[in-house]
Structure 1
């Protein structure tokens, strides 16, 4: 009987990363005298204890908690929430990614490489030419709409999503091109506006179109968000600069997320991903309701209707993606006159 040996892991690499990070953090708070700032912002550190677990165990980055805590709870500007999402995930998601790679967790490499390239193109376009024209109110609404749609998707499709095993194998070149498209579109829109989102876009493509196992889809989403976050911080640091208050909140939260996100990766392997996904799905829907109630004075009926329409459009796109995946996998046989997206090939004229 041929018994496959477990892959060799390199957790010492992750250990070196942690030593290096905490050495720099201690130098900042003790050597540079920033301890009082870090201590004063302890509430965000407490909130990111949950946020970092979410970041490592689900396709929703740490900004899923960090953004609404700063913006909805502490009533900070949405631009601060966006830049903080970039900053805190550049540590938490990077730490989780190194942990994932050190453990040699399987990833969807073709889509990951393509989306990383797409992010390099799309993110600066969004930061310079789209995000500056989005008001604080609509940054909140965009965040609320995207996260609510993912929450609702998981509430009614969780059994199907959690039931996937392996991954539908398409052509590697096709996967790579798909990743580029996802990276450019998400980087220019969701990521540049809210500081998060490419992880959930790639995850949606993997579980709905490629029918990927959550053990593949979620780690892949974590790694791509780490890349996007570090890139976002780099762009903003050398151009427009980060929003005031980001550094102080980052000082408080960074030492928590450096361990919390990898811990989420580890713990979810023991308890399963379904309970965590359901819990986060409820949070996602809850923050949408909170945003609509708190901002109703400015949204009014028109804005509320647009927000609900946005959720509906997102869910419609998810279902289109799911149907396309079923067709490509051969589970749905379409008539000869209908293409893989469900549209008629016959010219109506």
Structure 2
């Protein structure tokens, strides 16, 4: 009973959302639109589960479904991802906070501040000028890199417990940098900041997945609200430059009631079962969508080399983070034995 009582904010959120959604559908007479957009609603049933149970926003499924399957522009996939995550990821975040799931506030707070800066700047000054193919490739590169990271490090990641304090003194600057950078990436693809926060936590901070995944969900929720709000305002100011396709709203209306429950369901289930099968399956899909994008878009030559090089570069950055997160004493790696079987040595004892 105590557990149910503390979930009242989540219940209140669901009641408020479904009342507003039902009002929008009824007032706008959108029933026929809902019927015609059922495929995206079904796709987001999977997308919302992924969003709540992994460090990946629902746009990770929505973007390729709309852009690769339905052959729609990358800008539409981005805006839909931000819009649908503003419900699904927010719903999962309300559940996470209500259930008192652990999150890393030290890194999250400055990251939110950074997202408040980077997301609107990216939406206003960068996103409108990036070619559609680049948006698709950026998305593909980010999540292919995520997939490779997990296929290499998954066993170690799922065994980690707690979180290291090695880099705690740098929380403010690391979080702010991740927020600004991730906000700009999210303004292009609709996702990305969640992966950056997650990768930093598990590689640099050696954080438990029970901490890293909820933290990534919350930052993606905040960034999604900032992103879709920024895009909506910009579209009103200058519709020709910041065009927002009406299909974004139609797809959102169909998918929103699904993700409002699907994302928190994923956040619940992931605490009851092993994360390994879900992360393995999602990581494999991330790599496959990169291949799909390359084939679908006919990417060859320098563009293909650039995309593959970008995947290698991102994974190189992941490896650097992992090495920086290694908190073993440097002396453990030196090629000499300590005198007299000693287990430690003072720096003052080492002479030039």
TM-score normalised to structure 2 length = 0.89
Residue 108 of structure 2 is aligned to residue 112 of structure 1: yes
Offset of residue 8 of structure 1: 9.0
**Range 254-263 or range 37-46, more displaced:** 37-46
> Which residue in 2 is equivalent to 1:330?
328
- Conservation of the 8 A alpha-carbon contact between 2:53 and 2:263: yes
Provide the C-alpha distance between the structure 1 equivalents of 2:276 and 2:330, rounded to a whole number of angstroms.
26
Instruction: Give the length in aligned residue pairs.
Output: 325
Q: Contact between 2:87 and 2:256, CA under 8 Å: does it hold in 1?
A: yes
Cα deviation digits, residues 290-319 of structure 1 (max 9, x gap): 0011112xx322111110000000010000
Tell me which structure has the larger Cα radius of gyration.
Answer: 2
Tell me, yes or no, if structure 1 residue 310 matches structure 2 residue 306: no
User: Per the alignment, in what secondary structure is the counterpart of residue 239 of structure 1?
Assistant: helix
In the other structure, the counterpart of 2:259 is 257
Alignment of 1:277-292 (within 5 A): 277-292=279-294
User: Alpha carbons of 1:164 and 1:331: their partners in 2 closer, same or farther (altered >3 Å)?
Assistant: farther
Deviation of the 1:187 alpha carbon: 1.1
Structure 2 counterparts to residues 1-349 of structure 1, below 5 A: 10-170=6-166, 172-188=168-184, 190-240=185-235, 242-296=244-298, 299-326=299-326, 329-330=327-328, 332-333=330-331
150-159 vs 172-181, which moves further: 172-181
Kept in 2: contact 1:9–1:104 (CA 8 A): no
Residue 66 of structure 1 contacts residue 81 of structure 1 at CA under 8 Å; is this kept in 2? Answer: yes
Q: Deviation string for 1:202-247 (max 9, x for gaps)?
A: 0000000000000000000000000000011111111225333100
Q: CA deviation at 1:330?
A: 2.6
Cα deviation for residue 173 of structure 1 reads 4.9
Matches of 1:332 and 1:126, distance apart in 2: 40
Distance 1:19 1:7 in 2: 19
Does structure 2 conserve the Cα–Cα contact (< 8 Å) formed by 1:45 and 1:253? yes
Shift of 1:9: 6.3
CA distance in 2, matches of 1:115, 1:23: 32
Matched residue of 1:55: which SS?
helix
The Cα of 1:159 is off from its aligned counterpart by 0.5
3-state secondary structure, aligned to 2:101:
coil
State the shift of 1:52 in Å: 0.1
Q: Which residues of structure 1 form unaligned runs of 5+?
A: 1-5, 336-349
- TM-score, length-scaled by structure 1: 0.90
Work out whether residues 89 and 217 of structure 2, in 8 Å CA contact, stay in contact via their aligned partners in 1: yes
**Counterpart-to-counterpart distance in 2, 1:245 and 1:119:** 26
Q: Displacement, 1:176?
A: 2.2
CA shift digits 1:12-43 (9 cap, x unpaired): 11001000000011111123211111221000
Q: Is the 8 A contact 1:62 1:89 kept in 2?
A: yes
Q: CA deviation at 1:175?
A: 1.1
CA-atom RMSD in angstroms = 1.6
Q: Is the 8 A contact 1:95 1:259 kept in 2?
A: yes
Higher mean C-alpha deviation, range 24-33 or range 141-150: 24-33
